[in-house]
Amino acid sequence: MLLVENVTVVSPPHVLPARDVWIEGERISAITPHGQQKRTPTRRLNGHGRFLSPGWLELQLNGGFGKDFTEEPISIWEVAARLPEMGITAFLPTVITAPAAVAEQARAVLAQGAPAGWRGAVPLGLHIEGPFLNPKRKGAHPPAYLRPPDPAWVRNWTPEGQVRLVTLAPELPGALDLVRALRRQGVAVSMGHTEATLAEAEAGFKAGITYGTHLFNAMRGLHHREPGAVGALLTHPEIAVGLIVDGIHVHPAAVALAWRCKTPETVTLVTDACAGLGMPQGRYRLGAMEIVVQEDRATLPDGTLAGSILRPAVALRNLMEFTGCTVAEAVTTLTAAPARVLGLPRPRVAVGEPANLTLFALDGTVAATIIGGQVVWENAG
């Protein structure tokens, strides 16, 4: 039995200070006021008053710790083993624009399952970002591999086939038919790297798009006579959006604007992290492209932003600073909101719920991560 003692439980919308959380097997067995212990645990983890929330779910992560999923799909399990350092308990490995064989390799890596004895953040399936993107908004995607929507590519893309989310540009010829096909197959579809007008974006929503990939970045911006993709995403309350809240990809004022237009249930904090996450400054890969990792950002050699080196705990801290939101609202963007995008149950810290938990502070640090009732990472500092 694991006892996580003296924590402030954040199970949105509830915040419960001075609690002890008891875990038996893979589930939470009791939550009691701190100090009212009636049993002897086999292990104690002292939270020192820090926040304990449902485990964090990341929808867009390209790699980390020197590895890039598009270049090396086999590295997914290696990176996943270290993601609990970031408070992440589950995630979507993201494969960007590349030849069709790359996505197939990544699907095979997940289908084969985890190596023996492995522990880490659970890959829930792939996020395939591209190749059906608008060349005018390619960002750091290699232009040589961009292509028009092709039904043959997605025929086997299903959650059972290890694909959970696909990003495409809805204005491309044939894109709406592809959206409908993917939705019939149970895959969530996102709009991103797009020049869509308001009308084209709304047609995408009608076809089945339910998400917007890294809002503001690599999409037609907001104009008062043509609101474009940004305007469509901000004015449709049912559509969720991802936000990279590092203060670089999106200005704090734009983050605050988006927050006022959406709800915590429809904003997901994403890192769009690249191979440079958790690594020193230097040169790394993002698919076919070389990227340069500096102290606070990752770019192509020409300065184009190429993913990030953002940690979720820092994104949460920044969101609270930029918007004035509560800790419960911020936690929602890392838990319930991404779960909603994928059609998963709402994560909670409650008796009988899975013990997938993140222990963190508001200074942008993670103290411990629990997955399946086991402490898989603990900050020794």
- For 226-274, write each residue's pLDDT tens digit: 999 999 999 999 999 999 999 999 999 999 999 999 999 999 999 999 8
**Tell me, what's the pLDDT at 295?**
82
- Name residues whose C-beta falls within 8 Å of residue 45's C-beta, 6 or more positions apart in sequence: 2, 3, 4, 5, 359, 368, 375, 378
* Residue 381 clears pLDDT 70, i.e. is over it: no
Q: In the CATH hierarchy, which fold is given to the domain comprising 56-342?
A: TIM Barrel (3.20.20)
- pLDDT band for position 140 (cuts 50, 70, 90): confident
Separation in Å, CA 62 to CA 51, 91, 259, 291? 27, 10, 25, 13
Q: What is the largest CA-CA distance in the chain?
A: 66
If one looks up domain 2-53+348-378 in CATH, what number appears?
Answer: 2.30.40.10
- For 351-367, write each residue's pLDDT tens digit: 999 999 999 999 999 99
Tell whether the torsion through CA atoms of 182, 273, 334 and 231 is positive or negative.
negative
Residue that has been written with the tokens 């474009």 in this structure: 228
Q: Cα 337 vs. chain centroid, distance in angstroms?
A: 10
What is the crossing angle of helices 252-261 and 228-235, to 10°? 50
Measured between alpha carbons, how far is 65 from 123 in angstroms, rounded to an integer?
16
Which of 163, 128, 118 is closest to 149 using CA atoms? Answer: 128
Indicate which residue of 68, 246, 272, 363 is catalytic.
Answer: 272
**163 is written with which tokens?**
């694909």
Domain ranges, ordered by start, for the chain = 2-53+348-378, 56-342
The pLDDT of 274-279, averaged and rounded, is 88
- For 282-306, write each residue's pLDDT tens digit: 888 887 778 888 888 888 888 888 8
Which of 177, 178, 181, 145 is closest to 70 using CA atoms? Answer: 145
Measured between alpha carbons, how far is 315 from 296 in angstroms, rounded to an integer?
13
- For 306-342, write each residue's pLDDT tens digit: 888 999 999 999 999 999 999 999 999 999 999 999 9
**217 is written with which tokens?**
């970045």
**115 is written with which tokens?**
């190596």
Active site residue 246: no
Q: Could you count the other beta carbons within 10 Å of the beta carbon of residue 135?
A: 12
